[in-house]
A = this chain, B = another copy of it.
Amino acid sequence: MKTVKIGLIGLGSVGSSVMKFYSTNKELIRQKCNCDIEIKIVCDKDKSKKNILPFNVEFTDNYKKVLEDPEIDVVVELIGGLHPAYEIITEAIKCGKHIVTANKAVLSEYWDKIFGLANKYNKSIYFEAAVAAGIPVIQSLHEGLAGNKILGITGILNGTTNYILTLMSQQKCSYEVAVKRIQNMGIAESDVYYDVSGYDTACKLSILSSLAYSCWVKIKNIFVEGIEGIELQDIIFAESFGYSIKLLGNTQFYKNGYFFEVRKFLVNKKSVFANILYENNAVMFNGDYCGKILLAGKGAGGFPAASAVISDIIAIAKEIAEAVGGRMQYVRYIPKQINIINTKEVEDCFYLRFTTVDKAGVLAKIANILGKYKVSIASVYQKEPLFKHRRGVPIILITHKTKEKNIILALEKIKKLDVVLKTPIYMKIYSNN
């Protein structure tokens, strides 16, 4: 029986969980592969990681040693970040290795280069753990729904931001307090920038879209807005109208192309996304024949991510054992263009919040400007301010469907009104159109 040899680089949370998974479920893994898998060498720049290994295995702090080992069939890259992950992956391909990676950043930034190289060298790249950890979203999209025209993908793709929004909603605490709490719980890193800015979600949306539409959807083609500084009052107001606020990655077929966005949405409390709490992730694919398919589960954490990495290792090991590794590349990259629609041109309903002076006629002034920009109002809520010590009173409007660019132009005018005390807030309402 063939033994497939693995070199694993990066012993952080995911890497050490892969080692644990491999050591506890070795027999199950073997049964699935119909071959033996040996983790032959592991690498981390931190030499002390050697002490956390659950079994005896060669250790190095020099990744080149892994790439240059002629016995290694598969390099598992788990260091994250752009560099040297990019160099590791590309050099490994050139050294004749297949790749398993959990790295969403490097794939979304260098999709064409990495898959182009894999094509050239006939190597497979598996990356299930790069999106939604242990939920098999990559495989489901790429294989399970193969042949469908994908009409849309929407997902809660970042566990940290979803946890922050869950805490704010449940504990009625501020953004800053929620961030601190989950950092103290060990759920978020000390630097949450990549999470809360929406960048992490954008990387994942880029990967899912690139797969779905068989092209490279660059991050610069995605409208990206994070949750930084989201105000508790918007969460509370949204809830009082039957909505939760969620950070969604979203792409939809629209007119003659696709649009791409990462932003805060108001989602109906009865919708599936409203009920995805804490660090859970959920992705909905809409295919022309399969209809809407939802996948949900733990989207973060070492063990769930390790589950995806191990399933990738098994998939490539099966191919290698039959001497067809790379002959059927997992993703065939064909450089191709799709028509990208500017999100500002997409019609949707919006939530608007104004902070104004408490005087008669304010609403009329606002409504007047909105009307000029063809923004039609579906409902108006003039609420008591939630925090009495703050200046001004809130006016909340829900619009009918309108282009975002009209909202932006109208708000530019409205914020200049002397009765408006702060920059107006607006968010899209998720309609799954």
Contacts and interface: CB of A to CB of B under 8 A. Distances in A.
Interface of A: 17, 21, 24-25, 28-29, 31-32, 34, 128, 134-136, 139-140, 143-149, 214, 270, 272, 275, 287-298, 301, 303-304, 306-308, 310-311, 314-315, 318-319, 322, 324, 327-328, 332, 334
Given A146-B310, A147-B310, A311-B146, A136 B293 contact: yes
B332 A310 contact: no
B294 A290 contact: no
Contacts of A306: 289
B315 A289 contact: no
13 contacts: A25-B288, A134-B293, A136-B140, A146-B310, A147-B307, A147-B310, A289-B307, A290-B298, A291-B304, A292-B297, A294-B297, A296-B296, A324-B327
Contact of A298 (B270, B292, B298): B292
Given A143-B136, A289-B134, A289-B310, A28 B294 contact: no
Those 4 A-B pairs whose CB atoms lie nearest each other, nearest first: A136-B144, A134-B290, A290-B307, A293-B297
A34 B332 CA distance: 9
Most buried by B among A288, A297, A327: A297
A400 B32 CA distance: 40
A334 B30 CA distance: 13
Contacts of A140: 136, 139-140, 144, 295
Given A31-B334, A322-B327, A294 B292 contact: no
Given A275-B272, A294-B296, A314 B147 contact: yes
Given A297-B290, A297-B291, A146 B272 contact: no
A314 B308 CA distance: 22
Nearest to A214: B31
A28 B293 contact: no
Given A275-B272, A290-B134, A303-B289, A32 B297 contact: no
A294 B284 CA distance: 12
Contacts of A146: 29, 32, 310-311, 314-315
Tell me how many chains of this kind the complex includes: 2
Contact of A147 (B29, B291, B292, B332): B29
Contacts of A34: 328, 332
A290 B314 contact: no
A296 B289 CA distance: 15
A328 to B, nearest CB: 5
A149 B289 contact: no
A147 B32 contact: yes
Given A128-B144, A287-B307, 12 more contacts: A25-B148, A29-B147, A32-B146, A34-B332, A140-B295, A143-B314, A148-B307, A272-B275, A293-B296, A293-B297, A294-B294, A319-B328
Given A28-B147, A311-B144, A298 B291 contact: yes
Given A322-B324, A322-B328, A307 B28 contact: no
A147 B310 CA distance: 7
Nearest to A134: B290
A303 B17 CA distance: 40
A149 to B, nearest CB: 6
Most buried by B among A31, A134, A303, A318: A134
Nearest to A321: B328
A311 B290 CA distance: 10
Contacts of A32: 146-147
B311 A318 contact: no
B311 A147 contact: yes
Most buried by B among A24, A136, A139, A332: A136
Given A289-B310, A297-B294, A315 B148 contact: no
Contacts of A148: 25, 28, 307, 310
A237 B288 CA distance: 40
A166 to B, nearest CB: 14
